[in-house]
Each structure stands twice: as structure tokens, then as C-alpha cells.
């Protein structure tokens, strides 16, 4: 039940209609791009896919890009290409969407959760080191909220122990680490094009890599493990011939989606700049608010700002996170929570993962709230979020 804070305050909610935490921005040129493909000869496996992949790879600074059906498919494909399988362990963060760990389960491996840093809420390299053993095959760092994790430290650990690094950059399109865009820095990097992400194809995902062998494995994996490449065939029975060489999936993206992706990609920098403008206003409004703390950012990296999260200083409030969350919703601010630590989901409990594995992650989860952040937000929307947060904090402030 929502707390009737506006009535208690003796007035109306800050907004009349709910402001979502995230939303796509589709413009007329996006629609025209899709319609053009709908009128063409190819709805899938056509020229728009190749064009989208090439432009995306160029944008993030990678040699190759492989488009797939969604971000989860991208993680699954990367896990396959990395050689993850039964008896293998992969270290990742618990503060992420479940797919970052589920992709390891898909391949028969075991996800291992390393705790986060208190400062930027990304995976802690020191915690990674404490989880290593002879079964460790890969690390999946997640660039939480769009802020790049400590890649230098992660790469150093990977080099010393011969591990594969798969960056989960579903939040981080356009982000940069030490002057280089996220996307070409590790063996593989995955992106998501869900409607709340930086650009959208409806549903969709991408894996980028600089390794030609990984590229070919990813290409086959997204299409049933099948190849028609004459140089890769075991035998060649004629121009019709193709081979299924390993178990793959139908994870292809359509040309219709790729057309939308191409149109959206051309706007990625504009969308990111708008996100940064909104964030600058949030930071100015909330930095000196004693009931709130914010994610710490290092000077050597730029966030993609997929999410803006406030962390409640609960000792300064009379209520817990749930009451604050409900109060913001009563003001028609579409607050959300990202994320429940993965191992706390009942399915992972059934697999034998106990609570308490990552205390810092669990503490963060109990105190975090996601505020609306998307480029289509008007200045009035931003004003409403700031006003609502200030109103709720003042009402519940411990005197």
C-alpha cells in the first residue's frame, strides 16, 4: 500500500502522471528507417545487419561486432565463445541483472559472486582475487549504472591467471575508461538495446571483440552453430551446402531492428549528452542533502549514465528504504531499485547460494533507490524529481 504522503502534506502530488524511470526516444526518422526496411526485400539476415555491426564496432572502437536478439543472448554467446562449461567458475558482481550470472549457468558453469566497493558500487578487484582457484575461467565485470569498473586491475588479474574478461556494458554505451571507449578493451564486451538503454532496437544486443576467432564463434553461435563459409567447412558438397558444427541458437537480430539501431546509433552522443545534463542537475541538488549519498566517480573514467541511484543515509531518516520508495511513487515519481543481489533470488537459494555472501552489496541494496533518467525527460520532469526527493527527505528527516 502506498503511503499517502501528499495528503499528509496537505496538497497534491508533485506530478499528476507517473514519470517512468526509463523510456525510449523514438523520432520520425527512426520510424522512416524501419518503414524503409519493411518495404524492402529483406526483413532479416539482410544488409542492415552488417551495416549496423560495422558502425557499432567503429563507434566503440572494436574490430568486430556481432548483433544478437537481446543483451541476455549476448552474454550467453560470449560465455560460449569463452569456453565456459561444466566444472568452470566465473566471477561476477551480485549487483546486476540476473542475466550477468545466468549466462554462466546456461553453459553448465558456476557463478561466483565477489563483493562490491563501497565507493563506486562496482566489483572490487581485491574481492575477485579472494575468489580465484584452479577452476576459475573468466571474470564478468559489470559497469554498474554506466560507470566503468576498475579495468586495469581486472585485466591484471586476468593476465596473471589466464582468464577471459567479458565486460557487461549493458549500462555503458558511450562510457570511457582512461580516454578509450568501452567496447574494445577486453576479449569481449556486451551491450543491450532494451528500450530503457541508451539506444534501442526494441529488444537487441551486441558483442564486440578484437579477436577474429571469437568473432567467428559468436557469428555461428547466434545462428544454430551453422556456417556456410567455405574456408570453415569440414567438407563442401556444393553451393547449397552448409554445416552445423556445434550446438548454437537462433539469436539473430532482424533487419527491421537493425534499421532502428542504425538510426538510434546516430543519436547516441546526443542522447548521452542529455543524460549528462540531467545528472549534473541531480548532483547539484543532492550532493549536500545529508539524507543521501551518491556513487563516487574517478576522474579517469566517464559514465554512460544509464541509471542515477541515490543511497539513503538511513540513520538520518525516521523510516526505511521501502517507506521512502512508496512516498516517491505517491508523488508519481517512477522510482525503482537496481538491483536485488543475484544470489538472493529464490532460484539461486535453491542452488545452494546463502545470504551474506557479499555484505557490502546487501547493505547497498537495502539503501538504494533509482530515480528517473532518460534523454526524453523535459526540464519540468527533472524539476519534479528534484522537488519530490526534497519533499520526501524533508518529511522523513530525523530531527
- Range(s) within the chain of domains with CATH label 3.90.1150.10: 268-396
pLDDT digits (tens, 9 = 90+) for 230-263: 999 999 999 999 999 999 999 999 999 999 999 9
The pLDDT tens digits for 82-121 are 999 999 999 999 999 999 999 999 999 999 999 999 999 9
d(CA 376, CA 381): 10
Task: Supply the Cα-derived Rg of the chain in whole angstroms.
Answer: 22
How would residue 2 be classed by pLDDT, with cut points 50, 70 and 90? very low
Which grid cell sits at 158? 586476468
Render pLDDT for 282-307 as a digit per residue (tens, 0 to 9): 999 999 999 999 999 999 999 999 99
| pLDDT at residue number 5 | 56
Query: What is the H or E stretch that residue 393 is in?
Result: helix 379-396
Of 230, 234, 122, the C-alpha closest to 182 is 122
Position 1 scores a pLDDT of: 41
Which residue bears the cell 526518422? 29
Q: Which pLDDT score is estimated for 188?
A: 99
Q: Are 167 and 82 in contact (CB under 8 A)?
A: no
**DSSP class of 145:** G
Residue 12 has pLDDT above 90, yes or no: no
Using DSSP, state whether 322 is helix, strand or coil. Answer: helix
Q: Is the pLDDT of residue 73 over 80?
A: yes
Q: Are strands 243-244 and 292-294 parallel, antiparallel or unpaired?
A: unpaired
Could you tell me the pLDDT band of residue 7, with boundaries at 50, 70 and 90? very low
Percent helix, strand, coil in the chain, to 5, is: 40, 15, 45
CA 355/CA 346 separation, integer angstroms: 11
CA 130/CA 31 separation, integer angstroms: 50
Fold of 268-396: 3.90.1150
pLDDT score for 20: 98
Mean pLDDT (whole number) for 342-368: 98
CATH T-level assignment (fold) for domain 28-265: 3.40.640
Instruction: Report pLDDT digits (tens) over 120-173.
Output: 999 999 999 999 999 999 999 999 999 999 999 999 999 999 999 999 999 999
State the Cα–Cα distance between residues 390 and 328, nearest whole angstrom: 10
Please list the residue range(s) of the chain that carry CATH number 3.40.640.10: 28-265
Q: How far apart are CA 47 and CA 289, in angstroms?
A: 52
Helix (H) or strand (E) holding 185: none
pLDDT for res 6: 53
Confidence of residue 354 (pLDDT cuts 50, 70, 90): very high
Residue 272 has φ and ψ, to the nearest 5°, of -65, -40
Known catalytic residues are 197
The DSSP bridge partners found for residue 250 are 223
Cell of 118: 563501497
Sequence-distant (≥ 6) Cβ neighbours of residue 219 within 8 angstroms: 66, 227
Instruction: Name the grid cell of 147.
Output: 560507470
Which pTM was predicted? 0.96
Contact 235, 242 (CB under 8 A): no
Q: What DSSP line would sit under 16-78, residue for residue?
A: SSPBPS------HHHHHHHHHHHTSS-SBSSHHHHHHHHHHHHHHT-SEEEEESSHHHHHHHH
Amino acid at each position: 500500500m502506498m503511503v499517502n504522503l501528499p495528503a499528509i502534506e496537505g496538497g497534491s502530488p508533485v506530478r499528476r502522471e507517473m514519470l517512468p524511470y526509463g523510456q525510449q526516444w523514438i523520432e520520425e526518422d527512426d520510424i522512416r528507417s524501419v518503414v524503409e526496411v519493411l518495404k524492402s526485400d529483406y526483413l532479416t539476415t539482410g544488409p542492415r545487419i552488417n551495416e549496423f555491426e560495422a558502425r557499432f564496432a567503429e563507434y566503440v572502437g572494436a574490430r568486430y561486432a556481432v548483433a544478437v536478439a537481446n543483451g541476455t543472448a549476448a552474454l550467453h554467446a560470449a560465455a560460449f565463445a569463452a569456453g565456459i562449461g561444466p566444472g568452470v567458475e566465473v566471477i561476477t558482481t551480485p549487483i546486476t541483472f540476473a542475466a550477468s550470472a545466468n549466462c554462466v549457468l546456461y553453459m553448465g558453469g558456476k557463478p561466483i559472486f565477489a563483493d562490491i566497493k563501497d565507493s563506486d558500487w562496482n566489483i572490487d578487484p581485491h574481492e575477485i582475487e579472494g575468489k580465484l582457484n584452479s577452476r576459475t575461467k573468466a571474470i564478468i565485470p559489470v559497469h554498474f549504472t554506466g560507470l566503468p569498473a576498475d579495468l586495469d586491475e581486472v585485466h591484471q588479474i586476468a593476465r596473471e591467471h589466464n582468464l577471459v574478461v567479458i565486460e557487461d556494458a549493458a549500462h555503458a554505451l558511450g562510457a570511457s575508461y582512461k580516454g578509450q571507449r568501452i567496447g574494445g578493451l577486453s576479449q569481449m564486451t556486451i551491450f543491450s538495446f532494451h528500450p530503457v538503454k541508451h539506444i534501442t532496437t526494441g529488444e537487441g544486443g551486441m558483442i564486440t571483440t578484437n579477436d577474429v576467432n571469437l568473432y567467428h564463434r559468436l557469428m555461428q553461435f547466434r545462428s544454430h552453430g551453422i556456417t556456410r563459409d567455405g574456408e570453415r567447412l569440414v567438407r563442401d558438397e556444393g553451393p547449397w551446402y552448409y554445416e552445423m558444427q556445434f550446438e548454437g541458437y537462433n539469436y539473430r537480430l532482424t533487419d527491421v531492428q537493425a534499421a532502428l539501431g542504425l538510426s538510434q546509433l546516430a543519436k547516441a552522443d546526443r542522447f548521452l549528452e542529455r543524460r549528462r545534463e540531467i545528472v549534473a542537475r541531480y548532483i547539484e541538488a543532492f550532493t549536500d542533502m545529508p539524507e543521501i549519498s551518491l556513487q563516487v566517480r574517478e576522474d579517469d573514467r566517464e559514465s554512460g549514465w544509464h541509471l542515477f541511484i541515490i543511497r539513503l543515509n538511513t540513520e538520518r531518516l525516521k523510516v526505511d528504504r521501502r517507506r521512502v520508495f512508496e512516498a516517491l511513487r505517491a508523488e508519481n515519481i517512477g522510482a525503482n531499485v537496481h538491483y536485488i543481489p543475484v544470489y538472493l533470488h529464490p532460484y539461486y537459494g535453491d542452488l545452494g547460494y546463502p545470504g551474506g555472501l557479499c555484505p557490502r552489496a546487501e547493505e547497498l541494496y537495502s539503501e538504494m533507490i533509482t530515480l528517473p533518467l532518460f534523454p526524453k525527460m523535459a526540464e519540468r520532469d527533472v524539476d519534479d524529481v528534484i522537488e519530490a526527493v526534497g519533499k520526501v527527505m524533508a518529511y522523513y528527516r530525523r530531527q
